[in-house]
Amino acid sequence: MVFRAIKSRIKCHWAGLRTFVIVLLVLPVISVSCAEPEKCRDIEGRIRAELEQLDPFMGNRQGTWRLDDGTDSGPVAAQVIALGQGQYRARFFEEFDVRVPAIAELEGRLDEARVSFSGPGRYEGNEFTLQAVLEKDKLAGTFNGQDFSGSFTLEKVIRLSPTLGAKPPKGAFVLFDGSNFDEWKHSADKTGPVQWKLVDGAMEVAPGTNTIRTKKEFADIKLHIEFRTPFMPEERGQGRGNSGVYLQGRHEVQVLDSFGLEGLSNECGGIYGASQPMVNMCAPPMQWQTYDITFRAARFDGSKQKLEDARMTVLHNGVKIHDNVELTRITKEDPGGDLLQWGGIYLQDHGNPVQYRNIWVVELPGENASR
């Protein structure tokens, strides 16, 4: 890695330079749904246009940095979060695809079609200052430490999940193909048809109408589901695009607009209250995302004594964020049900118009929980 070589050459004060590297928690490159170059460009172009209509400054940027003396350069990336009323936050990280402490967070405000950021950062005890100007398509700035200085330039990038648009394999059970709610019902005692909306091939939570669940029940499965959080820049925390996907009716994988945040167990990708994701892979709001979940139900013996807890592996936008995690407890707000029985897949109404589409499962063989 270039930084480690440099650090050994310029001693420990070089760590200060490394702190300016604003690294994106990377979404993987396009593959499955964009196998054809023309299709890939078309999808990326449409998403870029849609996001720019919402907010031209929000999102991911990527580029390079260079020392003023020309002795070295390298990659740099940033995540910019829209906070409403012309306010933005740039969150700074060390590397791609790993969980690392935030190096710095800088606040900025829109002024005449640009957002300016300025403030301190810290890494391994070394301090630096960073100044940057964010325009529609470019984020550029300078960094200064005790014994070094340099500049960087980043361009906007759109990154898509490699499983976006994945087609159900042979033998899969399709739960939602964009046309109807035939495989779904209300999760409680409420009767009548599902009252969520059908919007352009997706189902959209109609706030206050109730959480929904599958009519069919499952135990060991592989689930593919795509979701999109709404753009709610003035909301914070659990009020920002909140929903959830429940496996067997009791283990929730959180859905939330957590773009650029730390990645806690109650943020996007977290197994709610039980396990935080290994890395925050959340995309910006209004961009379609994927969960690919392998779930293994708890095991019981003939006398109904638990032998093993349930387990779950989760890929968020193609990156593994939970690896065969043991689920020692159910989600606090689980809809309930007998742990010995199979359970439905629940989609939560938490009061925000989250959308879902392309939902299918593959049932896995094995000694499943009893019916």
What is the per-residue pLDDT across 7-26, written as a single tens digit (0 to 9) for each? 333 333 333 333 333 333 33
- pLDDT one-digit tens code per residue, 241-272: 999 999 998 899 999 999 998 889 999 999 99
Q: What is the pTM of this model?
A: 0.85
Q: What is the pLDDT of residues 273-304, one digit of tens each?
A: 899 999 999 999 999 999 999 999 999 998 88
CATH numbers and ranges of domains, the chain:
2-157 (2.40.128.120), 173-363 (2.60.120.560)
The 3-state secondary structure of the chain, one letter per residue: CHHHHHHHHHCHHHHHHHCCCCCCCCCCCCCCCCCCHHHHHHHHHHHHHHHHHHCCCCEEEEEEEEECCCCCEEEEEEEEEEEECCEEEEEECCCCCCCCCCCEEEEEEECCCCEEEEEEEEECCEEEEEEEEECCCEEEEEEECCCCEEEEEEEEECCCCCCCCCCCCCCCEEEECCCCCCCEEECCCCCCCCCCEEECCEEECCCCCCCEEECCCECCEEEEEEEECCCCCCCCHHHCCCEEEEECCCEEEEECCCCCCCCCCCCCCCECCCECCCCCCCCCCCCCEEEEEEEECCEECCCCCEEECEEEEEEECCEEEEEEEEECCCCCCCCCCCCCCCECCEECCCCCCCEEEEEEEEECCCCCCCC
Q: Which tens digit of pLDDT belongs to each residue from 171-217?
A: 999 999 999 999 999 887 778 889 999 999 999 999 888 899 999 99
